Structure 1
C-alpha cells in the first residue's frame, strides 16, 4: 500500500472508481443493459460516509448517456471508442492522472474492454486495490479473451462474481484464484415492488391465467421453448395466455413461430418494458427458460413481485430459486418439462400463491440494494487493510459451495 493510503485512507471515505465501457440508453433515455442498471443501483445505494464513488466511462459521448449519470458522483469520460484506437495511449495517461489526482483507493471494472484498459493502468498508477467484476458464465468469451483475462488476473486484487455459478466459471475459464473471488449477488430496488398486490388467482373459469416472461429476445433466453410449452398446455385445454415483455433481434422470428404453432391468438408480445412492476402485477406465473444465466434480474423482479416462478435449473437460477419452496425448477432445453412445471401451478393455486409469497419474502430480505452496497464497502475495506477477502465473503463462498443444490429434474 502506498504511503498516502497507509496514512489517510482510514480517516476519510474510501474512494472507489467504477470503470465501464458506457451507459447505453434506448430512444427514450432509459438504461438498456442489466450490468449498467446494477452499477447505477449500486452507485445510488452506497453510503457516502463510507464510500465516495467515481465513475469512469471509456466512451461517454452523447447527451442521452450523460442524462443517466448519477448527479452526486464525479464522472470522467475518456472518449475512447476502441482499444485499438491511436487515442488509447492518451486516454490511459489521462486516466492515470485522474487516479493520482483523486487519490483513488479502489478501481473496479465491468465488461472486458474496461478491464483490459483500466486494470494495467490502475496498477501502474499505484492504486492499492483493483477489482474485476464477473456477471456472466463466459459463453461469449473467445480464446483471446480468456488469455487476456488470465493476464489481468495477475494484476487484480479480487474478483466480484454475482453468483456461485459465475465464480466457478471465472475460476475454471480464466484460472482466477478461488480465494480471491467473492460472491455478491445482484440487487433490486425494493420500493417499487413492495406496493404490488399479492398474487391473486382468477375466481372465474372464464378468466385466463396469465403466464409471463420478461427477457431480451435472444437465442439464449429460449422463448421458443416457452411457445412450445404453451402449445402443449393449450392442447390440454388450459385457459391461459402468454405475455412476453422485452425486445430483441428474434422478436419477428418468435412471432412467426407462435403463428406456425397455432398459438399466436394466445400470445402477446409487448416489446420493450419500461414499468416492470406494473407488467408483473398483471401476471400470475413468471417463466425464465434460459439455457444459461449468471444471475437474472428478471427472475429477482418476478419473485419480488410475489409471482409464482418457473425457472430452468441453470447457473444462478438454482441459487435464487429453492425448488418447491420459492418456485419451481425445470430441466433446461426441455419444452415438455417446462410445460409440466407450469401445469403444476395452474392446477394448484394454493401452491402457486404459497411459492409466490415465499419468493417475495426471500428477495425483499436478501437482495436489497442497501445490503449489496454494504457488502461492497466491507469487501473494499478488507482488501485495502489486508489484501484479502473479508470474513463474510469467505463464509458466503463456503455456504454457497455447501448449499447450492444440484437439480436433478423429475
Structure 2
C-alpha cells in the first residue's frame, strides 16, 4: 500500500501577497492523488487569507518565531518534520533558506528552496551576510530555483548554485478569473468611490518598503500637476495591507490627496478591482516575476513598471507597457501621462499584454512545472519504489 507523499511548504508568514497567493493556487490545483500539502509558517498566518485554501486536508502550522536568530525555532521545526515525515520540504526565499540542514537532520529526502524576490533592505542582492548564508545552504538543497530569469542568473553567478540544481519556474495566472472588463460588468469593486467618469490608475500588492508605493504617490501628484485639463478626473487606487499602510495613508493626507486616492487595505476581490482600473502601475525597487503585473496584463491593462528584477521579463517596453527607472517619480509620471492622453494606446498595450499572458504565463503550465519538479526529485531521491507515483503528464 502506498502513501500519498506530503510536501511541507515553509514560509515566513501566510498572508495576502503574491508569493502566498500563487502558493495557494498551486496547492488548490494540484491533483490530490499526487501530493498532500502542509504549510508551516515561521511566524503565523492570517486566518482571512488561509480561507483561500480550497482543500480541507491542508494543515497550517505556526511556529511563532521571534525576531533574530531564534535557534529554538530550528528545534521546533525539526520535531514537527519528524512527526509529519514529509517527502519534500519546499522553503521560500531568504527568510526560510536556513532550515535546509534542519530538514536534512529530520530525514526529509527532498529539499527545495525558491527565490521569489528580495527584501527592500537588499534589493540588488549585494548583502554579504545574506549571500554567505545562501551559499552555505546550497549543499543542503536538491534544487534552488528562481521565478525570474534575472534571479536565476543571479543565483548561478553570485550565489554559485550549480547548473544541475538551478531552474526557472515562472509564475502563472488564471486568465479566466483575471479578464478584461466587459460591458455588463459592474465598473469596480464594492466600496470603490470611483466610476466611469474617472481615469483610474492603480496597483495591488502588499504595502511594504520593497514596493515603494511612496514613489507612486509622488508620481500621481506630479501627474495631476502636469495635466490640468484631466486633473479632476484622475484617481489612484492602492489596494493591499502591510506594515507601511498607515504611513502611506499619512503621506497621502499630508499631500492633500485623500479625496483622490483610495487605500482600502487588504481585499479578496482583486479581479474586480483590476477591472475598475485604466492603467496599472508598479513602483517596486526589487521583484521576482511580478504576479500582480501579470494579473493586470491578463485583465488587459497597460502596465507602467520599474526596470528591476523580473519586471522587464514580463512588461515588453513600448508593447505591453512602459518601463521606468526605480525611485523616479518624474519618469513614472511621464509614462502614465502617455496613457492618460491616449486611451487608444492604453487599449492597444492592454490587449497585447493579455495576449502575452495567454501565450507565456498560463496557470496550467505553472502547476505542471512545479509538479514535474516534485516528481523528478522524489523519483530520484526516494529509494523505496512505489512510495511515490509520478503524476507528471
Counterpart position of 1:338: 332
Residue ranges of structure 2 left out of the alignment (5+ in a row):
188-195, 382-393
Work out which of the residue numbers 12, 20, 45 in structure 1 matches 2:29. Answer: 45
Report the counterpart of residue 216 of structure 1 in structure 2. 206
What is residue 228 of structure 2 aligned with on the other side?
Answer: 237
Cα separation, 2, equivalents of 1:309 and 1:174: 31
Residue number in structure 2 paired with 1:162 = 147
Change (3 A) 1:252 1:379: closer
1:307 matched to 2:301? The reply is yes
Q: Structure 1 residues 181, 262: CA separation in 2 closer, same or farther (over 3 Å shift)?
A: same
* Structure 1 residue 260 displacement after superposition: 4.7
Change in Cα spacing, 1:94 to 1:178, as seen in structure 2 (3 Å) is same
1:140 shift after superposition = 4.3
**Unaligned residue ranges in structure 1 (runs of 5+):** 1-7, 25-30, 388-410
CA contact (8 A) 1:13 1:48 kept: no
1:310 and 1:371 map into 2 onto residues whose CA distance is 26
Matched, 1:110 2:92: yes
CA 1:350/1:52 → structure 2, altered by over 3 Å: closer, same or farther? Answer: same
Name the Cα RMSD after superposition.
3.4
Q: Structure 2: how far apart are the matches of 1:133 and 1:237?
A: 46
The corresponding residue for 2:391 is none
Distance 2:238 2:261 in 1: 8
Contact persistence 1:137–1:165 (CA under 8 A): no
Distance in 1 (alpha carbons) for counterparts of 2:45 and 2:317: 45
- Calculate the TM-score normalised by the size of structure 2: 0.79
Report if the CA contact (8 A) 1:58-1:114 is conserved: no
Q: Is the 8 A contact 2:148 2:169 kept in 1?
A: yes
Distance 1:74-1:252 versus aligned 2 partners, 3 A rule = closer
**Preserved CA contact (<8 Å) 1:165 1:316:** yes
The equivalent of 2:117 in structure 1 is 136
Among 263, 266, 275, the alignment partner of 2:260 is: 266
Q: Which residue of 2 aligns with 1:291?
A: 285
Worse-superposed segment, 138-147 or 170-179: 138-147
In 2, the alpha carbon distance for the partners of 1:259 and 1:330 equals 26
- Please give the TM-score of this superposition, normalised by the length of structure 1: 0.76
Aligned residues: 361
The alpha carbon displacement at 1:230 in A equals 2.4
Q: Is the partner of 1:192 in helix, strand or coil?
A: coil
Per-residue CA deviations over 1:339-382 (Å, capped at 9, x if unaligned) read 11111112222221011111112224432322111011222333
Which among 17, 20, 37 is matched to residue 33 of structure 1? 17
Instruction: Give the CA deviation at 1:275.
Output: 0.9
| Larger fraction in helix | 1
Match of residue 120, structure 1, among 101, 104, 116: 101
In structure 2, C-alpha distance between the alignment counterparts of 1:60 and 1:230, rounded to whole Å: 35
CA distance in 2, matches of 1:343, 1:377: 43
Post-superposition Cα deviations, 1:149-173, rounded to whole Å, max 9, x if no partner, equal 2222012111121111222333344
Does 1:190 find its partner at 2:181?
no
CA contact (8 A) 2:252 2:258 kept: yes
TM-fit CA distance, 1:125: 5.0
Question: Whole-Å Cα distance in 1 between the matches of residues 299 and 90 of structure 2?
Answer: 31
Q: Secondary structure at the match of 1:196?
A: coil
Match of 1:27 in 2: none
Q: Which residue of 2 aligns with 1:55?
A: 38
Q: Please show how residues 80-95 of structure 1 align to structure 2 within 5 Å.
A: 81=65, 84=70, 86=72, 88-89=74-75, 91-95=77-81
Deviation at 1:306, TM superposition (A): 0.9
Assess, with a 3 A threshold, how the Cα gap between structure 1 residues 72 and 262 changes in structure 2: closer, same or farther.
closer
- Correspondent of 2:311 among 299, 317, 323: 317
Relative distance call for 1:77 and 1:359 in structure 2 (3 A) is same
Residue in structure 2 matched with residue 225 of structure 1 by the alignment? 215
Q: Secondary structure at the match of 1:109?
A: strand
CA distance in 1, matches of 2:282, 2:308: 10
Deviations 1:222-264 (A, max 9, x none): 3232233223332231412222222334444434444554544
The alignment partner of 1:183 has SS state of: coil
Between the aligned partners of 1:67 and 1:211, the Cα distance in structure 2 is 29
